[in-house]
Structure formats: structure tokens, C-alpha cells
């Protein structure tokens, strides 16, 4: 018995702490200058899955699509209790919008095979779209419950779920398999157990092993490096520390639905609204002073 849960997690720029330095002169965001974090809502998705495993048995698989650096959030999933972690990494997936992302994730979930529950965070703090969850559910042909407050019951292949609807709540009965997006009020994510951290901080993807070999043996011959790399992978696998890394071919994704060609929405332009921290202006409490201030706010579109 037990339930197999798949949790979708994302590494995101820390948009809550953006400073002037993160903005380029043309008003676009310099992602490289931003620290990254585990998308906050996704921690609650992971916790919901771990909780199900604890209560009913089963397994938790964490999946993330992103650059090699996104292995960091998967390591954290392992430290917090996930049984398996998979990174979807492929240059051809770059610039995917939510539609292309949900397609790629649906291919990854299909490769993972059988599952009962898919958990996503309510939304990611870089885009705040909340779209990938419902789109992934549609691609997989399963029901969705967004804004989940609580999983009330789980038995006989069905779940009873309470979700928020903004100005109230509702309770739904849904047959498995299904997808849930989880609110941050749904639970309190457990901290990582020290014992797991000691163990899983050494978990690596193949891409990371390759990089580490290249960095540690700059002078070695390609053959030697290849040996070192193969040995490294084998040893990680034996110790259960390999974060699987799949590309678009591994998940048999059709390229026309991935990356730029799979993304109908295109960014036309971006304007920054946090400029470099501007100074303080004292405004005279007179008709003239206030009129000037209001005029400034209208010109810069703060007021419309």
C-alpha cells in the first residue's frame, strides 16, 4: 500500500530581496546577480507529500526543471526526506513559458511512471503565475485542486480536500491520481534532519560530477577525466547519492513544444520599477508642493 507522490519544485531568484544592483541599465533583471532560493510555496508542497508518506506509507519523488545549479533545491528535498530526486536539465528547454514548462514536466512525470498524487506549490515568486500546476494536470489528463488548505482524507483511491476560494472555502472529493497546489498556510515544513543533511549534502547530479572532475584535474587527459567521472557516478549511485539528470531526449519530449518554439507568450519589453534606491524628498505642505508631487507620480505612472 502507500501512495507515490511526485513533488514539483523550483529554484527561483530571491525576488523578496531585490536591490538596485540586480537591475541592468536597460531595466531588465540581472538574474545572475540575484541569490537563489527554494521557491517558498514548494516547501509546503514537499511537506504535504512527506506527511502523506508518513501517514500512509509510499514514496516521494522530487522533480525540478532548471539549470545545473537547481540541483541545490533537489539536494534540499533529499535532506528533508524525499526518496528520489530528478533534475530536468537541457539547454533546449531554456526560455520555456508556463505552457512549455508544463509540457516538459508532463513528459518527466510520464517517464517516472505510476503516481497517485502530484504536489506543486501555489505559485513561484519569480512569475507569480500559478499556471504550471493546472496546466500540468491538464496535460496529464487528471483532476486538479488548486489553493489546497488541507488534505482531509485519503482512502479507496480518492481524496477529500479543502481548498480556499479567496472569499471562502470548499470541500471536494477527487479520485486519484490527481494534482494539488498547496498554500503556505497548509502546513509547517519540517526542518531537515541533521543525519540526512550529513548524508545528502554530498548528493550530486551527473553534470555536477563532471564539473567537479574538470575543476579538480585541470591538467588530466580526457581519458583520465572520463574514468574519474565514471567512477564518481558509480560511487554516488552505490551510496544512493545520485540525483538523476534527464534531458529532453530522455523524457522523449517533442522539441516543438519545448523552449522558445513551445512558448506562445513572448516578452516584448520589461521596465524596472525599483530603480536604484532613490533619495528622500521633502514636500512642502502647500498647494504648490503637493500639486508638484502628484504631477511627478502621474508622469512616472505610479498614479494613473
Partner 1 sequence: MDAPMMPVNREGEVLVFAEQEDEHLSEVSLELCGKARELADRLGVQVGAVLPGWNVRELSYRLIAHGADRVYHVHHTELEHYRTLPYARVMIELVNRHQPQIVLFGATALGRDLAPRVASALRAGLTADCTDLEISDYTDPRTKTTHRNLLLQIRPAFGGNIIATIVNFDRWPQMATVREGVMRLHDPDPQRGGDILDERVDFSDFDLSVRLVERQREPRKVNLKAARVIVAGGAGVASRQNFQLIHDLAGAMGGAVGASRAAIDGGFIGKEHQVGQTGTTVRPALYIACGISGAIQHRAGMEESAKIIAINWDKEAPIFSVAHYGIVGDLRKVVPLMIRAIKEQA
Residues 133-152 binding partner 1 (CB under 8 A) are: 133-135, 137-139, 141, 143-144, 146-147
The grid coordinates listed for 165 are: 476560494
Q: Is 140 helix (H, G, I), strand (E, B) or coil?
A: helix
- 276: contact with partner 1 by CB under 8 A: no
Q: What angle do CA 174, 179, 185 make, to 5 degrees?
A: 95
**Rounded to the nearest whole angstrom, what is the least distance from the CB of residue 183 to partner 1 in the complex?**
11
The grid coordinates listed for 281 are: 524628498
Measured distance CA(102)–CA(79) in Å, rounded: 26
Radius of gyration of the chain (CA): 23
Tell me the pairing of strands 204-205 and 178-182: unpaired
- 54: contact with partner 1 by CB under 8 A: no
State residue 87 phi and psi, 5-degree precision: -105, 125
Stretch that binds partner 1, among 10-18, 42-50, 74-82, 187-195 (CB under 8 A): 10-18
Stretch that binds partner 1, among 53-61, 68-76, 199-207, 271-279 (CB under 8 A): 271-279
Stretch that binds partner 1, among 40-48, 49-57, 164-172, 229-237 (CB under 8 A): 164-172
**Rounded to the nearest whole angstrom, what is the least distance from the CB of residue 224 to partner 1 in the complex?**
42
5 or 98, CB closer to partner 1? 98
Do 37 and 12 contact (CB within 8 A), yes or no? yes
Task: Find out whether the peptide bond into 177 is cis, omega within 30 degrees of 0.
Answer: yes
221 or 271, CB closer to partner 1? 271
Residues 6+ apart with CB under 8 A from 128: none
Stretch that binds partner 1, among 46-54, 73-81, 85-93, 275-283 (CB under 8 A): 275-283
Measured distance CA(296)–CA(300) in Å, rounded: 6
- Applying CB under 8 A, among 166, 191, 218, 223 the residue interacting with partner 1 is 166
**Rounded to the nearest whole angstrom, what is the least distance from the CB of residue 149 to partner 1 in the complex?**
12
Q: Is 245 helix (H, G, I), strand (E, B) or coil?
A: strand
- 33: contact with partner 1 by CB under 8 A: no
- Applying CB under 8 A, among 4, 13, 47, 232 the residue interacting with partner 1 is 13
Residues 6+ apart with CB under 8 A from 298: 304
Stretch that binds partner 1, among 60-68, 75-83, 237-245, 257-265 (CB under 8 A): 257-265
> Site for partner 1 (CB under 8 A): how many residues?
79
227 or 283, CB closer to partner 1? 283
**Rounded to the nearest whole angstrom, what is the least distance from the CB of residue 51 to partner 1 in the complex?**
21
Measured distance CA(69)–CA(87) in Å, rounded: 10
- 234: contact with partner 1 by CB under 8 A: no
- 154: contact with partner 1 by CB under 8 A: no
Stretch that binds partner 1, among 47-55, 75-83, 131-139, 208-216 (CB under 8 A): 131-139
Do 90 and 207 contact (CB within 8 A), yes or no? no
232 or 259, CB closer to partner 1? 259
Instruction: Pick out residues in 191-210 that bind partner 1 (CB under 8 A).
Output: none
Q: What angle do CA 265, 269, 271 make, to 5 degrees?
A: 130
Q: 88 has which bridge partners? A: 65, 246
Pick from 139, 138, 137, 9: nearest CA to 65: 9
**Rounded to the nearest whole angstrom, what is the least distance from the CB of residue 25 to partner 1 in the complex?**
14
- 155: contact with partner 1 by CB under 8 A: no
Amino acid at each position: 500500500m502507500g501512495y507515490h507522490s511526485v513533488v514539483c519544485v523550483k529554484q527561483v531568484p530571491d525576488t523578496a530581496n531585490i536591490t538596485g544592483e540586480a537591475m541592468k541599465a536597460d531595466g531588465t533583471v540581472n538574474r545572475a546577480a540575484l541569490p537563489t532560493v527554494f521557491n517558498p510555496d514548494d516547501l509546503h508542497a514537499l511537506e504535504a507529500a512527506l506527511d502523506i508518506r508518513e501517514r500512509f506509507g509510499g514514496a516521494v519523488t522530487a522533480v525540478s526543471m532548471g539549470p545545473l545549479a537547481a540541483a541545490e533545491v533537489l539536494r534540499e528535498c533529499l535532506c528533508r526526506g524525499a526518496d528520489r530526486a530528478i533534475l530536468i536539465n537541457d539547454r533546449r528547454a531554456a526560455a520555456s513559458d508556463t505552457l512549455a514548462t508544463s509540457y516538459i514536466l508532463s513528459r518527466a512525470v510520464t517517464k517516472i511512471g505510476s503516481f497517485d498524487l502530484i504536489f506543486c506549490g501555489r505559485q513561484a515568486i519569480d512569475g507569480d503565475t500559478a499556471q504550471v500546476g493546472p496546466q500540468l494536470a491538464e496535460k496529464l489528463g487528471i483532476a486538479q485542486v488548486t489553493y489546497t488548505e488541507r488534505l482531509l482524507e485519503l482512502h479507496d483511491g480518492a481524496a477529500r480536500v479543502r481548498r480556499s476560494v479567496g472569499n471562502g472555502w470548499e470541500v471536494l472529493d477527487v479520485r486519484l491520481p490527481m494534482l494539488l497546489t498547496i498554500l503556505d498556510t497548509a502546513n509547517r515544513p519540517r526542518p531537515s534532519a541533521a543525519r540526512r543533511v550529513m548524508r545528502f549534502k554530498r548528493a550530486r547530479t551527473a553534470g555536477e560530477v563532471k564539473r567537479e572532475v574538470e575543476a579538480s584535474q585541470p591538467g588530466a587527459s580526457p581519458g583520465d577525466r572520463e574514468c574519474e567521472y565514471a567512477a564518481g557516478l558509480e560511487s554516488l549511485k552505490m551510496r544512493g547519492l545520485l540525483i538523476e539528470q534527464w534531458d529532453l531526449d530522455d523524457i522523449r519530449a517533442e522539441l516543438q513544444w519545448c523552449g522558445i518554439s513551445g512558448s506562445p507568450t513572448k516578452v516584448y519589453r520589461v521596465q524596472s520599477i525599483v530603480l536604484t534606491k532613490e533619495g528622500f524628498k521633502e514636500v512642502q505642505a502647500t498647494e504648490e508642493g503637493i500639486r508638484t508631487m502628484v504631477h511627478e507620480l502621474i508622469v512616472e505612472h505610479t498614479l494613473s
